[in-house]
Chains A and B, each alone.
Chain A
Amino acid sequence: DGGITQSPKYLFRKEGQNVTLSCEQNLNHDAMYWYRQDPGQGLRLIYYSQIVNDFQKGDIAEGYSVSREKKESFPLTVTSAQKNPTAFYLCASSTSAGEKLFFGSGTQLSVL
């Protein structure tokens, strides 16, 4: 069953803690993306990757880091430098940049 899987569904972060959100796809897509969504808002681009071992910053990359060591995986780390991390995080993939996106079901991150 092809798709894109995000985990966990809910995540809680303590002050000063780094947390990592998982995103895995088995669609054989080259491009992967991380978006942040705040309540009642649209999606803002954090990072994207068009190919393994390469990624680019989006509009709101500060306080976040990513890696793309495997085609299937694009984990997002929310660092302690991100002072307002509470949001809904969405991972997506596509065959190539600018084409139809397939989204995961999202991770809700909250601060304890």
Chain B
Amino acid sequence: SQQGEEDPQALSIQEGENATMNCSYKTSINNLQWYRQNSGRGLVHLILIRSNEREKHSGRLRVTLDTSKKSSSLLITASRAADTASYFCATDEYQAGTALIFGKGTTLSVSS
């Protein structure tokens, strides 16, 4: 079962620009999380937003959650070349409260 779906699949920007990625999901959730993956590496947790929260910030990251639209967005401000990576959203299955289900990810390329 694929819960989160990211959009766009790929994004190319210049250093200093903002990058916005979107995630849509299908069922009710307890929380939604964003992860980052550098090529050939494990995933790193970025931020977790709970279903009763609408916005959360962490450094240059801003995440919003709209449970009525079943969607979330991740904004990276003032992008750097080091932000080049794949970004995934993940959600829990509300009924079971079990393992996270991941989307296919957005590949971000930041050029200097």
Q: Mark A28-57, 1 if CB is under 8 A from B, else 0.
A: 000101010000111111001010000010
B42 touches A98 (CB 8 A): no
Interface residues on A, range: 20 to 34
Stretch at the interface among B53-61, B71-79, B95-103: B95-103
Stretch at the interface among B13-21, B43-51, B62-70: B43-51
Closest A residue to B92 by CB, please name it.
Answer: A98
Question: Bound complex: CA of A48 vs CA of B98, how far in Å?
Answer: 9
Closest B residue to A104 by CB, please name it.
Answer: B42
Question: Bound complex: CA of A54 vs CA of B112, how far in Å?
Answer: 49
Question: Bound complex: CA of A102 vs CA of B1, how far in Å?
Answer: 22
- Is A59 in contact with chain B by the CB < 8 A criterion? yes
B98 touches A97 (CB 8 A): yes
Other-chain residue from B45, B97, B103 in contact with A98 (beta carbon distance below 8 A): B97
Instruction: Decide if the interface of chain A is mainly helix, strand, loop or mixed.
Output: strand
A98 touches B98 (CB 8 A): yes
B41 touches A98 (CB 8 A): no
Closest A residue to B101 by CB, please name it.
Answer: A45
Question: Bound complex: CA of A88 vs CA of B105, how far in Å?
Answer: 15
- Is A27 in contact with chain B by the CB < 8 A criterion? no
B43 touches A90 (CB 8 A): yes
- Is B104 in contact with chain A by the CB < 8 A criterion? yes
- Is B109 in contact with chain A by the CB < 8 A criterion? no
Question: Bound complex: CA of A45 vs CA of B97, how far in Å?
Answer: 14
Other-chain residue from A43, A48, A56, A97 in contact with B88 (beta carbon distance below 8 A): A43
Known: A45-B99, A56-B98, A104-B42. A98 touches B105 (CB 8 A): no
Seed contacts A90-B42, A92-B42, A100-B48; 11 additional CB < 8 Å A-B pairs: A33-B99, A41-B105, A45-B101, A56-B98, A97-B97, A98-B30, A98-B31, A98-B98, A98-B100, A100-B33, A101-B90
Interfacial residues, chain A to chain B (CB-CB below 8 A): 6, 31, 33, 35, 40-45, 48, 50, 56, 58-59, 88, 90, 92, 97-106, 108
